[in-house]
């Protein structure tokens, strides 16, 4: 984790040893100076995921801030909220038992150009529970033996949306016409991804989307993939964030996985999500 000096009076409080930091001293709804945005990006690249508290953001201001970081992209499976196709509502109602994305994953790794980043804004949260966990894929890669690193760098993985049942939104599950969305997206990406901005290497497989290694069967791939899925979420690679209304998280989807904890049955949770356009993993 780097400690790049800042040029503006932001406060930065790390939340765990491997990744994650809370940024204070900024209202992201304001028209931010370029220097402030540059410092936010520095902290985000250093820590993988950053958190802001008590942000009063209309959908318009949420999108405006997102555009200072990257280019908002539309989610392929779910329409956005009224008037804002780039913002999707992530909702769990009191009677529902399945949450959206309730498994460790990188967002939409089955796309040819997965998102660079994801922003999640808490609108309504349960009285307890509903935290989100994050895992550092740089640290996971760097903790592997040199021999394992060398083996993995020669492999590519097949990622498929057909595996993503557990990470579907409630709109995917409850369609007015009662028919499932039969679209399947599939993409082949390197198992070890080099970050295009920092040059650091990260594991880029995840249990929700990665089906097998390219050129191998699922049966042949399973033992090594299962080891990687367990290894990459070891406690020392993770942090955990407790939401409050107005909390905003922004994580680097190129090197961070996340897992929303589904421990608040009987309560309502409403979040707004924006993903930012990425590039082809290399």
Which of the residues are catalytic?
Answer: 105, 107, 258, 273
Q: Which two tokens stand for residue 105?
A: 């994953």
- CA 52 distance to own-chain centroid: 16
Q: What is the C-alpha separation between 239 and 206, in angstroms, rounded?
A: 17
| CA pair distance 144, 201, nearest whole angstrom | 12
Q: What backbone torsions phi and psi does residue 161 show, to the nearest 5 degrees?
A: -70, -15
100 φ/ψ angles, rounded to the nearest 5 degrees:
-80, 125
CA distances from 135 to 85, 143, 265, 275 (A): 28, 13, 24, 18
Please state, in angstroms and rounded to a whole number, the distance separating the CA atoms of residues 261 and 246: 19
Question: Measured between alpha carbons, how far is 262 from 226 in angstroms, rounded to an integer?
Answer: 22
Query: What is the C-alpha to C-alpha distance for residues 115 and 137, in angstroms, rounded to an integer?
Result: 16
Name the 3-class secondary structure at 133.
Answer: strand
- Measured distance CA(78)–CA(273) in Å, rounded: 11
Please tell me the distance from the alpha carbon of residue 173 to that of residue 18, in angstroms, as a whole number. Answer: 35
């Amino acid at each position: 984790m780097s400690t790049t000096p800042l040029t503006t009076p932001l406060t930065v409080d790390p939340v765990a040893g491997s990744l994650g930091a809370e940024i204070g001293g900024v209202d992201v709804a304001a028209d931010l100076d370029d220097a402030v945005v540059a410092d936010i990006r520095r902290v985000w690249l250093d820590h993988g995921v950053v958190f802001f508290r008590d942000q009063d953001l209309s959908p318009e201001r949420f999108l405006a801030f997102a555009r200072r970081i990257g280019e908002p992209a539309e989610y392929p499976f779910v329409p956005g909220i009224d008037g804002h196709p780039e913002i999707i509502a992530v909702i769990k109602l009191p009677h529902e038992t399945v949450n959206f994305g309730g498994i460790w994953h990188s967002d939409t790794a089955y796309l040819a150009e997965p998102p660079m980043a994801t922003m999640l804004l808490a609108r309504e949260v349960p009285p307890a529970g509903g935290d989100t966990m994050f895992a550092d894929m740089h640290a996971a890669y760097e903790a592997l033996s040199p021999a394992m690193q060398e083996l993995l760098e020669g492999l590519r993985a097949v990622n498929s949306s057909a595996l993503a049942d557990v990470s579907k939104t409630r709109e995917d599950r409850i369609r007015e016409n009662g028919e499932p969305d039969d679209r399947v997206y599939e993409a082949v990406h390197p198992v070890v991804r080099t970050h295009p901005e920092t040059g650091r290497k990260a594991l880029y497989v995840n249990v929700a989307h990665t089906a097998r290694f390219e050129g191998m069967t699922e049966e042949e791939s399973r033992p090594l993939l299962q080891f990687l899925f367990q290894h990459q979420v070891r406690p020392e690679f993770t942090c955990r964030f407790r939401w409050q209304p107005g909390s905003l998280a922004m994580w680097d989807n190129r090197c961070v996985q996340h897992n929303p904890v589904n421990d608040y049955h009987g309560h309502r949770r409403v979040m707004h999500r924006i993903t930012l356009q990425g590039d082809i993993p290399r």
